[in-house]
Structure 1
Amino acid sequence: GLDGIESIYSEVGVESMRESEIVVNLKSRNERTWTTKEKIPELLKMFATVPGAKITIGTSAGGKSANSPIQIKFIGNNLVSLASTTRELVGMMSDVEGVGNPYTDFERGFPEIQVLMKSIMAADLDVDATSLGQIVKSFISGQTSGSLTTPDGEIPIRFATTDKKLDSAHDLEKILIPLKDGTMLSLTQVAALAETRGFGTIRHNGGDRTVTIYAQLMPDANIRNAVADIDLLIAEIGLPDGVQYQWAGDAADLDSSFSAMGLNLVLALLVVFLILAVQFNSLTQPLVILLSVPMASIGVFAGLLLTGNNFGLYAFLGVIALVGIAVNDAIVLIDTVNRNRTNGMPLDASLIDAGKSRFGPVLATTLTTIGGILPLAFKDANFAQLSISLIFGLLASTILTLIVLPIIYRIVEDFKLGFKRKIPIFIDEETE
């Protein structure tokens, strides 16, 4: 048996009688010798051999299921085209790295016999589809005519003959269709019988039929890479006319969330710039200070790469937080340079003195901040992304601020001085 299991219970008929669910409650991590990231791929391979079964395995926390983060909704009017397209794509998605157990919600129904009217023959004999349907229905299930009221309620009254039994599809050929002149014709003279298989469930989206593909994301896989690979597969197989697709689930939420986070990043940069512009009474120095943000981003991506983490929403959140954190060292450095120059110190000497005098406080501030963030790196994968972004971003920002920022400050001042000499009316913003 598998250690670390608290309890197991199963339920049959979750949403229909064709579905069942097994819930395994686990003990805490320190009471198990394995993790869910290790076990899910093993279980998927184990159950992949079950014929005709669609199996999903996932974790849940706080009541929110983590099943099927990858969802692709195909939309169109031709259900046959939707079914064939999704079936082909499911077969190819099994080879996509990081994608596991793809399946569709398309279900074939039970075998059925369709009565297809011969329109020309029926028109010549003055037989309409409504009358033909009622006759076939009466032959199969009888005809309800009124109800009988009893103390226990109403009982429907249904008339049917006992000599007309329907044991096979060929028995439908016995149905006789009365014409208006009193003659009788067999059903096959005005209609054709076709054995086929119907559709189990037909789903709609805005009036159009839909078939959705579901798949799981393997542990440590990058959902953005998986989405890009699947987009390439769809472009490779090509979609039939009238069929289109759209992403749903976590993949769709990811795009909208990243767009919102991008807007938040721009707003954060704008707010910080305005505050610095007022504080330093300058437009160029805030821009120099804000260069510490892309410097921090270098550390963010390097840290995620070194630790094997993906750039997810939590990592993006860390970048936004760095807009307000990473600039602190640059503010201290530039403020010291400005005070030195106000006291009459030359520009180069001011930069050197600021670097020497502020090195200790800047380094201490960075290390204490990292020390406070470090425990988050060991909490879970999401907090690991956030903490790694902050830690490596701060390290890169601190180092590059002390080395690169003075050089950029010097270049900007030289440019302003040259510009002032060419255009005398130019008024320098900062102290010479």
Structure 2
Amino acid sequence: EKIRDIPGLVDLKDNFVKGKPEIRVRVDKEKAALRGLDTYTIAYTVKAAVNGVKVGVYREGKDQYDILARLPEKDRKSIESLKRITVSGPKGEPIPLTSVAEASLATGVGAIQRLDQKRVVTVSGDVSGRLANDVIQEIESRLTRDFNWPRGYSYRFSGEQREQEKAQAFLSKAFVAAIFIILFILLAQFDSFAAPMIIMTSVLMSLIGVFFGLLVTGTAFGIIMTGIGVISLAGVVVNNAIVLIDYYKQLLSRGLSSREALVRAGLTRFRPVMLTAITTLLGLLPMATGVSFDFKKFAWDIGGESSQWWGPMAVAVIFGLGVATLLTLVVVPVLCSLELSLRQRLTTKSKAAP
């Protein structure tokens, strides 16, 4: 009831099964021991009175029927009648049930659900018109602020939230692993630490485009698909910086000055870099907009179900690659020039030192 009126939360239900009323008999072991009785004897007497005990068999032809001895039906449905039951003592003397046990009305458990050997009650629901993360945050705030949990009770989120946390942990590790693998390969190829670090700045610049694109299009940050888009983007955007820096290094080895080499490298590599980015963006555009062509029916399909799943990944790659490409053509040459000037200054200072 505390979370039923949360906006966007629909089809709220649980698997709790209410138990039926029952008569509960609690044996006082100390009083029973003083009278020479045990729990089994008392429980057997109550069971025999209510459920009956087999005292014989009635045969009629080939059929036979069990003969049960128990209290009349009117005495089995009243707790007051149950309290008048007597238990046979060690010497056969009648002992009132109320002197060794307490009978009371209670509610039993309808069904017991367990998870990891612990009793659980599962509350499930769907989300409509809002992000699942926003609804979960509001649920958690209400359960923490407005509800006093009894001792021994706790709650946790599962289902989509749990799967999302697993995906987030996996994709975070995958992104870090991808960055280190790319960096290791670049270090081995360029035999330098400065050039790979300049190339890796394009990855950071692509993240600017990713968040900008999600903000402009109003697309939710999906942990799975947006995360996959960011990881794939890391491998794509470094290609532009590698092409630019590799040609810049070749021009420097031919004896050109740093400024002239940067200008020529930018002019020469501008066309392939832009063509690569534009073809990639155009290829992902139908996926981002949800517009595709069904060749089986020879008809345009707008806003299909697949676009809702692949849309966040396409938006992340399109805007990330677009922004990273433009910034790479400006920022990477600046960083290359800065790196060369710093290296020359350090060389001059080392030569000037006595």
Q: Is the shorter-chain TM-score for this pair beyond 0.5, marking a shared fold?
A: yes
In the TM superposition, what is the alpha-carbon distance from 1:261 to its structure 2 partner?
Answer: 0.9
SS of match in other structure, 1:185: strand
Candidates 3, 19, 26, aligned match of 1:116: 26
Report the CA distance shift for 1:177/1:162 in structure 2 as closer, same or farther (over 3 A).
closer
Counterpart mapping for 1:172-187 below 5 A: 172-187=82-97
Partner of 1:256: 166
Partner of 1:84: none
For each residue in 1:302-350, what CA deviation from the matched residue of structure 2 results, as whole angstroms up to 9, or x when unmatched?
A: 1122222222211000000011111111112212222222222221222
Candidates 5, 15, 39, aligned match of 1:129: 39
SS of match in other structure, 1:337: helix
Candidates 374, 380, 390, aligned match of 2:285: 374
Q: Take 1:149 and 1:262, find their aligned partners in 2: how far apart are those partners?
A: 76
Report the CA distance shift for 1:167/1:92 in structure 2 as closer, same or farther (over 3 A).
closer
Partner of 1:324: 235
Confirm whether residue 358 of structure 1 aligns to residue 308 of structure 2: no
- Structure 2 letter corresponding to 1:159: L
- Structure 2 letter corresponding to 1:344: G
Counterpart mapping for 1:16-415 below 5 A: 91-96=1-6, 98-144=8-54, 157-161=66-70, 163=72, 165=74, 166-223=76-133, 225-236=134-145, 237=147, 239-312=149-222, 313-377=224-288, 378=290, 379-415=306-342
SS of match in other structure, 2:195: helix
Contact 2:199–2:241 (CA under 8 A) maintained in structure 1: yes
In the TM superposition, what is the alpha-carbon distance from 1:265 to its structure 2 partner?
Answer: 0.8
Q: Take 1:94 and 1:320, find their aligned partners in 2: how far apart are those partners?
A: 38
Contact 1:300–1:389 (CA under 8 A) maintained in structure 2: yes
Instruction: Between 336-345 and 156-165, report the one with greater CA deviation.
Output: 156-165
- Structure 1 letter corresponding to 2:334: I
Contact 2:273–2:325 (CA under 8 A) maintained in structure 1: yes
- Which structure would you say has the larger Rg? 2
Q: Take 2:58 and 2:332, find their aligned partners in 1: how far apart are those partners?
A: 93
Report the CA distance shift for 1:161/1:241 in structure 2 as closer, same or farther (over 3 A).
closer
Contact 2:55–2:67 (CA under 8 A) maintained in structure 1: yes
Return the structure number with greater helix share.
2
Contact 1:293–1:397 (CA under 8 A) maintained in structure 2: yes
Contact 2:22–2:106 (CA under 8 A) maintained in structure 1: yes
SS of match in other structure, 1:114: strand
- Structure 2 letter corresponding to 1:356: L
Partner of 1:418: 345
**Identical amino acids, percent of aligned pairs:** 30
- Structure 2 letter corresponding to 1:380: S
SS of match in other structure, 2:346: helix
In the TM superposition, what is the alpha-carbon distance from 1:248 to its structure 2 partner?
Answer: 2.1
In the TM superposition, what is the alpha-carbon distance from 1:163 to its structure 2 partner?
Answer: 3.8
- Structure 1 letter corresponding to 2:227: F
Instruction: Between 181-190 and 289-298, report the one with greater CA deviation.
Output: 181-190
Return the structure number with greater strand share.
1
Q: Structure 2 length normalisation: TM-score?
A: 0.83
Report the CA distance shift for 1:100/1:361 in structure 2 as closer, same or farther (over 3 A).
same
- Structure 1 letter corresponding to 2:232: A
Instruction: Between 316-325 and 295-304, report the one with greater CA deviation.
Output: 295-304
In the TM superposition, what is the alpha-carbon distance from 1:289 to its structure 2 partner?
Answer: 0.7
- Structure 2 letter corresponding to 1:311: F
- Structure 1 letter corresponding to 2:97: L
For structure 2, which runs of at least 5 residues remain unmatched after alignment?
A: 291-305
In the TM superposition, what is the alpha-carbon distance from 1:355 to its structure 2 partner?
Answer: 2.4
For each residue in 1:189-229, what CA deviation from the matched residue of structure 2 results, as whole angstroms up to 9, or x when unmatched?
A: 33222112111112223333223332323355143x44444
SS of match in other structure, 1:326: helix
